[in-house]
Amino acid sequence: MTRLLPAHVLVGAAVIGLAAANAVRLPAFVAALGALVGFLAVVVTSAGWSRVSALAVVVAVAGCWLGSERLASLDRSVLVRDVGRSGDAVLDVTGPARTGSYEVRAPARVRTFAGRRIDEPVQVELPLGRAPPQGAILDALVVVRAPRPAANGFDEATWLRRQGIHVVLRLDRWRVVGRRGGVGGLADRIRTWLAGGSARGLDGDRRAVVEGVLLGDDSALTPELKAAFRRSGLYHLLAVSGTNVVLLVAGVLAAAWLVAIPRAIAHVLALGAIAAYVLAVGAQPSVVRAAVAGAAVSIAWLLAREAERWHVLLLGALALLAWNPYVIFDAGFELSFAAVVAIFAGAGPFARVLEGYPVPAKIRGAVSLAAVCGVATAPVLWLRFGAVPLLGVVANALVEPAAAPLLGLAFASAAVEPVAPPLATALAWLNGFVAEYVAWCARVISAAPFAQVGGRAAALTVAGLLAVAAYASRRWRSP
């Protein structure tokens, strides 16, 4: 059992404070007064847990104030007062365009509007057809409008506001006038290299699955295949996770070992690879959590320290909430952390329960991971999407042998593409069969009766799963 350490309490207090800013916005003078009282409590209390508790209060108050300041920054908008106006704008496309039923949408950042210099994130919309590439600088005639009102269970205004976006720009005409530079331009180039090198020569579903698993981007999947991933409980494969980062770091360390690079330098290179990967795929909650975990392990090795997994998980939450406290309302954040907590707390005991059955060890591991993650994420899926996949354990057990090879071949193909394009094509061709198998599993499982339930059936399923989990937890804690 993991021992509670002062570092756990302090990082946890910072996480709680940042999250609490969503409920209570602390003015600076209130935060200063609270921190002062807490500091005095630290001074007068004796050493030990009393002092740690007092210091945790100070950290929580400071976290709440910092979270309040960050939320205030995200809530500010210059363009809100221009809603209904039209004018010329220059903007950078900061992410991949997504094609919907009626229009194309993409995230962007405004440089100028109507002759005024502005630096603000927006969502752009344009008619179906040609879409601007990520990283493009556009000169466009735009109409500023407010986000759509809530309808059919989706509140676009709230969803965008939590990303710091307050207006939508409708593009009447646009042209590409350049490419962005700096860190954003570097991210665009890395993403383009990964997407092209990992799926060289592939097309259709094979290319879409490889890019989806490697980059966490489902925009190239057909609506039918996307629905199959959701119904089968395999949609998590299309979100960058710890597996991606583990395989990336393992590949860097293995390559460094082959060319006799010292291990310390290899870990520094691994840190650089993690940073580049986060730039390429974007700061999604699961990406940042996995990146913080991978970076913490490498830094701990460099410092000759042991990385404690719960502490690393708290650091991931701290990084995400410090950047955007609204992320606590993001379904990706909730699903990612619920799954990891379930793995830490329940995967081991459940795997030991399965040891008495004639099942290969690898299958036992896959089943235990899928089962505890399914139980932990079911309430989130029901509350967020109104549906729960029932065959997720089966689907994940079928896909588990293919997940690591698919990622490994994708990374390997991208790595060798600049120096050996024919080899990259061969690796991608081989990976195409793995991707096709993953897509086949999603389609077959999703086509089964009751692969996914919604409404009251989903609520009853969640209640049953939680009851079973509570009973199992009591049994595992008993002698």
**Tell me: the pLDDT tens digits for 347-397?**
777 777 777 677 677 777 777 788 888 888 888 888 888 888 888 888 888
Quickly list H helices, 101-241.
Answer: 156-161, 182-198, 204-215, 223-232
pLDDT tens digits, one per residue of 84-119: 899 999 999 998 888 877 888 999 999 999 889 999
Quickly list H helices, 386-454.
Answer: 392-416, 421-447
Comparison of pLDDT for 304 and 183, the residue scoring more: 183
Q: If you average pLDDT over residues 162-172, what whole number do you get?
A: 91
Closest CA to 378 of 366, 367, 390, 394: 390
- Check the CA dihedral 96-101-104-107 and report its sign: negative
Closest CA to 373 of 274, 239, 251, 478: 239
pTM for the model: 0.83
User: Is the confidence at residue 39, as pLDDT, over 70?
Assistant: no
User: Is the confidence at residue 474, as pLDDT, over 90?
Assistant: no
Cα separation values, 336 from 231, 339, 386, 406, 413, Å: 18, 5, 18, 21, 27
Closest CA to 38 of 53, 16, 17: 53
Tell me the pLDDT band of 48, cut-offs 50, 70 and 90. Answer: low
Cα separation values, 183 from 94, 194, 241, Å: 11, 17, 23
pLDDT at 29: 63
Tell me the pLDDT band of 2, cut-offs 50, 70 and 90. Answer: low
The average confidence (pLDDT) of the chain is 84
Say which residues have a Cβ less than 8 Å from residue 284's Cβ, sequence separation at least 6: 216, 239, 240, 332
Domain boundaries, the chain: 6-74, 79-180, 191-477
User: Is the confidence at residue 157, as pLDDT, over 70?
Assistant: yes
Chain position carrying tokens 């363009």: 79
pLDDT at 477: 53
Angle at 66 (CA atoms; ends 55, 120), nearest 5 degrees: 165
Task: Look up the CATH number of domain 79-180.
Answer: 2.40.50.140
pLDDT at 35: 66
Instruction: Report the distance separating Cα 37 and Cα 35, nearest Å.
Output: 6
pLDDT tens digits, one per residue of 415-430: 999 999 999 999 999 9
Q: If you average pLDDT over residues 270-293, what whole number do you get?
A: 83
Q: In this structure, what DSSP letter does residue 346 have?
A: I
Task: Work out the widest C-alpha separation in the chain, in whole angstroms.
Answer: 73
pLDDT tens digits, one per residue of 308-323: 778 888 888 898 899 9
Tell me the pLDDT band of 479, cut-offs 50, 70 and 90. Answer: very low
Helix (H) or strand (E) holding 292: helix 285-302
Q: Which amino acid makes up residue 466?
A: L
Closest CA to 396 of 376, 420, 367: 367
User: Is the confidence at residue 149, as pLDDT, over 90?
Assistant: no
Q: If you average pLDDT over residues 130-135, what whole number do you get?
A: 86
User: Is the confidence at residue 335, as pLDDT, over 90?
Assistant: no
Instruction: Report the distance separating Cα 360 and Cα 46, nearest Å.
Output: 54
Helix (H) or strand (E) holding 90: strand 86-93
- By the 8 A CB rule, do 273 and 252 touch? yes
pLDDT at 471: 62
- By the 8 A CB rule, do 150 and 194 touch? no
- By the 8 A CB rule, do 340 and 313 touch? yes
Cα separation values, 307 from 131, 250, 294, 313, Å: 44, 17, 10, 10
